[in-house]
Homo-oligomer: A and B are copies of this chain.
Amino acid sequence: MAGSSFYATLNPPARILLGPGPSNVPPRVYQAMTAPVVGHLDPEFTSIMDDTVELLRSVFGTKNRLALPVSGTGSAGMEAAFCNLVEPGDKVIVGAAGLFGDRMVEVAGRCGAEVIPVRSEWGRIIELSAIEAALKQAGKVKLVALVHAETSTGALQPLGEIALLAKQYDALVLVDAVTSLGGIDVPVDRLGIDFCYSGTQKCLSCPPGLAPITVSERGMEAIRNRQRKVQTWYLDLSLIENYWSEGRAYHHTAPISMVYALREALALVLEEGLEARYARHWQNGRALQAGLQAMGLALHAQDGHQLPMLTTVRIPEGVDDAPTRRTLLNEYNIEIGGGLGPLRGMIWRIGLMGYSSTRDNVLLVLTALETVLAEQGFRCPQGAGVSAANKVFKGG
């Protein structure tokens, strides 16, 4: 047919994304990606870069000069952190109580670090005392690394006391805020975090593809004082910084449309207001968790340390993991996540991130889950989940 294409039009379904990310993307962010691509050195683009830096600083709660999106997904942020801060032989303490903590151990190891993992069961937090013991024993430690919101387990890691302790030992503090940024407070300056990285597709509700980072002056000094070149040229922050500051020295071509999307997503975060956004995530998360428990399901993450934007719930006995998720996807258009590593087949991960974190989605996923579980023989008092969630919404 004239005027029609040989290849079919892309037609992915409009899912309700309640997994561990990506989350649903608001219309204004999609629109931003249709803004015309301009050159990466065009003054019109560099002014959008400057705006993005300013917005990132606000969301990270920092006055750091360096705040920018690395041209890769959240994992590129992790790699940028370790590659730039660590030199071969440096001692690095990594809190590892989940897949992303383990990934930090792996990435730090590939940078030549002498990694000291401080482990905890998947679902529990890393205790201050365990980090303290490691610091006492290790001698000079360059860096203490923690995952703020462990997406594989649903645990919220307290940061304040460990950050303080690390400073006392003159160690840098590195925080993975991939799942937390934009959903709970990540006050970089107040906590004294030296390197913080995140991803775009979680609580910022932007498509995946960029890794917002910020680095403190102390962190930048460690980078500037390196003995050896950073092993990665693509993620070498000294070079990337030159492009994102006044000099505008060409390094690589920025992913223009993704920067547009991030700029718009960050604007939406700040238009809602950080406190209001955190409260929304908190309330929806608590309502979902109350609902799941009222249905007779058990939360997986350590009591008192459950993430609001990602709830892990144990799969009840007699219920099959994959068919349940498949039914939710095919019949309800809802994506939830399965467990990873040792938690595969043991838990589900239900995300309420950014634009996906709504009261409607809480009620919908509880209702759908009740039906699908009943089909598999798991019974609970009818409407118990929704009723418990509604109590939370009504301030009960």
Instruction: Give a binary string over A3-41; 1 marks a CB under 8 Å from any B CB, 0 the rest.
Output: 001110011111101010110110010111111111110
A260 to B258, CA, bound (A): 13
Q: Does A71 contact B (CB under 8 A)?
A: yes
**Nearest residue, chain B, Cβ from A264:** B10
Q: How many copies does the complex hold?
A: 2
A76 to B264, CA, bound (A): 25
A209 to chain B, nearest CB (A): 3
The number of chain A residues touching the other chain, given as a range, is 35 or more
A30 to chain B, nearest CB (A): 5
**Nearest residue, chain B, Cβ from A272:** B6
Residues of chain B contacted by A271 (CB below 8 angstroms): 5-7
Q: Does A208 contact B (CB under 8 A)?
A: yes
A118 to chain B, nearest CB (A): 20
Q: Are A21 and B209 in contact (CB under 8 A)?
A: no
Q: Does A136 contact B (CB under 8 A)?
A: no
Q: Are A38 and B17 in contact (CB under 8 A)?
A: yes
Q: Are A6 and B267 in contact (CB under 8 A)?
A: yes
Q: Are B12 and A106 in contact (CB under 8 A)?
A: no
A115 to B207, CA, bound (A): 38
**Nearest residue, chain B, Cβ from A104:** B233
Interface centre among A10, A83, A251, A271 (most CB of B within 10 A): A10
Specify which of B258, B263, B267 is in contact with A255 (CB 8 Å cutoff).
B258
Mark out the residues of chain A between 205 and 225 whose CB falls within 8 Å of any chain B CB in the assembled complex. 207-209
Residues of chain B contacted by A21 (CB below 8 angstroms): 253
